Amino acid sequence: MEYIYAAMILHSAEKDINEENVKSIIEAAGIEADDARIKALIAALEDVDIDEAMETTAMAAAAPAAAPAAAEAVEEEEEEEEEEEASEEEAAAGLGALFG
């Protein structure tokens, strides 16, 4: 993950994402750089639009966060409907006792 973070830092700083720069960031973080992993990262990112990938990931992360809120709203509506039904039944029972 730290290699990907290094690439994201370079991208955010508008620097070239190359082996030398990634290695510098990894070593600055106090991690021993693995040249094979760095080469694999550079090769994997060669045809990737990082801005688009980050935007897509941000949207995907926001969607699950919105889902619990929607589920809570549905649960609240169901509870309100149950309360309304219960109060209607109680009212009918109360009227039945008056005239019963």
Query: Could you tell me the pLDDT band of residue 84, with boundaries at 50, 70 and 90?
Result: low
Q: What local confidence, expressed as pLDDT, does residue 71 receive?
A: 62
Residue 91 DSSP symbol: H
Average pLDDT, integer, range 14-38:
94
Q: What local confidence, expressed as pLDDT, does residue 59 receive?
A: 72
Of 37, 12, 11, nearest in space to 23 by CA: 37
Alpha carbon separation from 36 to 26, 33, 53, 95 (Å, rounded): 13, 9, 23, 82
Tokens 């955010």 -> residue: 12
Alpha carbon separation from 70 to 7, 56, 67, 74 (Å, rounded): 35, 21, 5, 6
Of 5, 32, 6, 29, nearest in space to 19 by CA: 6
